[in-house]
A and B are shown apart, each in its own frame.
Chain A
């Protein structure tokens, strides 16, 4: 059986994404963990009414926080500025520097974009649960705060907890270090973050990598994301965003 997951350009990997899609975007917020080239391709494509599930709503790239030498990088902010995003589900929506508001804050104050606040640990677990075929879970995080509003409560082991539903999406944009042609992935340093959790929770997982090797080219003992979770792989173009 021929497995064909390699796509030649970022533009081709996003070609079938249409208006109204829900997309998970990997990484924590550093230049090296964000799927910058896939985001750039989606901005170029210009589809609208997107729902983004990510740790942030694009809060660090323009400021160059989380890249060596403070070099700016691409994140969700380019899509939000473009007016492509309807809703963001995240834990960090606002600029990391209060005096420099990001595109999300400006649109949010005008009522032009929706937000679902999710504590970071709850966010990743909702995604993990989605990928694992679960409906949700109970967590202590958020009890007695704004987060508990409207949520089912239950006392487990003497601790009050709230129920959080799992999350799934149409697509995931992932950044990894190396892939083999089967789609097996390895990461480097802090790159795993949300990248190694999201591919499981979506219909189509698209991955940008620094290097693609032949099947058998990765030591099976060190593979982090098994290839069956991965649908499309593109090598970061040499002139691309790293």
Chain B
């Protein structure tokens, strides 16, 4: 079995999409890690749906953590100059109103058309929608950052999602531990492969047929 990229490296690659001045909301899991990899020289304004904007990284020690400074992921954050707080109705006005440039979300399944399923699966019988639907429907750009297959090796990128969807046709970019794929009208386009991987090997772990980009390259990390 070929070596796959770590969760940190998936997050690092996703973070390369953050442009200077972007307003970004990160989902839990792998996406949360992207906060640590903002490309040098770029300023990113992070949004958390529980009501803060423009905050800093997770403090390294407990002593700097404050109970009133915590993100939706349950982790404390450090203050930054210009940080601000607001209530939930304003927070989701930012999301639904199209004021968030990029959201990075985890996924259970993504379809060929960019449908996202990330809130439940039938065996659990119940699930957590949380803020994911509003984010997936309304952010200007939705990036999925995830492992390419489940720990059991089941495919996650499928022709159609089997699990209940969070939002239809919302995903524009999929970053995984083996590839970077864009969602286009013509289908999924393989843009980058992890070091040492070939297009055929990525295709073998992907449900729908991948179109290989003319300039397909190895992921720059």
Interface residues of A (CB under 8 A from B): 28-33, 55, 59-60, 65-69, 91-94, 96, 98, 104-105, 108-109, 115, 117-122, 124-125, 127-128, 139-147, 187-197, 224
Contact = CB atoms under 8 A, between A and B. Distances in A.
Contacts of B65: 68
B44 interface: no
Contacts of B129: 91-92, 117-120, 147
Interface centre among A122, A141, A143, A224 (most CB of B within 10 A): A141
B170 to A, nearest CB: 10
A140 B125 contact: no
Contacts of A191: 68
Contacts of B87: 192-197, 224
Contacts of A60: 74
Nearest to B169: A144
Given A115-B126, A144-B165, A197-B89, 14 more contacts: A28-B49, A28-B51, A28-B72, A29-B74, A65-B74, A66-B70, A67-B67, A109-B125, A117-B129, A120-B134, A145-B164, A189-B67, A190-B51, A190-B70
B62 interface: yes
A125 B90 CA distance: 9
Given A28-B72, A121-B92, A192 B66 contact: no
The contact size tier of chain B is 35 or more
A189 B95 contact: no
B51 A193 contact: yes
B85 A145 contact: no
A193 B133 contact: no
A189 B96 contact: no
B176 interface: no
Nearest to B96: A121
B37 interface: no
Contact of B124 (A29, A98, A188): A98
Interface string B26-69: 00000000000000000000001111100000000010011111
A103 B116 CA distance: 29
Contacts of A139: 96
Contact of B134 (A69, A105, A141, A188): A141
Contacts of A141: 96, 133-134, 137-138
B67 A31 contact: yes
Contact of B50 (A67, A121, A128, A190): A190
A138 B62 CA distance: 43
Given A67-B67, A122-B134, A197-B87, A94 B126 contact: yes
Contacts of B167: 144-145
Nearest to A132: B89
A192 B86 CA distance: 6
B130 to A, nearest CB: 5
A29 to B, nearest CB: 8
Interface in B109-128: 124-128
A146 B167 CA distance: 10
A30 B74 contact: yes
Given A105-B126, A140-B138, A193 B166 contact: no
Given A98-B124, A139-B96, A191-B68, A119 B51 contact: no
B106 interface: no
Contacts of A67: 67
A190 B92 contact: no
Nearest to A139: B96
Contacts of B164: 145-146
B131 interface: yes
Contact of B137 (A140, A193, A195): A140
Contacts of B138: 121, 140-141
B68 A59 contact: no
Interface string B158-200: 0000001111100000000000000000000000000000000
A190 B69 contact: yes
Contacts of A118: 129
A190 B90 CA distance: 13
Contact of A120 (B92, B126, B166): B92
